Structure 1
Amino acid sequence: MGLKGLMSGMGMSSFTIAAMVIALATFVAVVIWTFRRPRDEMEADSRLWMDDEDRDLSLAVERRI
């Protein structure tokens, strides 16, 4: 019994199966891309501010110290 037989037994159409396979492939590609990025690039990205409000709040806290 292949994937098509299993999904047909669950009542899924061909378009639903195709969408599920595309979504799974996209997820796997993003996971692989995430773990293949250089460490220094990931560390640089981790230091970026989420938005200006977080940056301003952090600067205010640093100035009080």
Structure 2
Amino acid sequence: MNVSVEVVGEGTHDLTLPDPTYADLLSELDLSPHEVSVMVEGQPVPEDQPVEAERVRVLRLIKGG
């Protein structure tokens, strides 16, 4: 499956993986599911869900103090 993954503020990556989950996409980009939220059409999706969208946005979660 071909998926365009936009890491907000960092660029877009075109990935090709067979039957990926959203966690697989994050792994390919060396991102931890604990540090990001995966969004499809503006809605968060669980990382263990199979990818059904051609375009995905990844938002890094920010910690502050």
TM over 0.5: no
Which protein has greater RCO, CA pairs closer than 8 Å, 6+ apart? 2
Structure with a larger share of its residues in helix: 1
Could you say which structure has the larger radius of gyration? 1
Q: TM-score, with normalisation over the residues of structure 2?
A: 0.26
Q: Which has the higher strand share?
A: 2
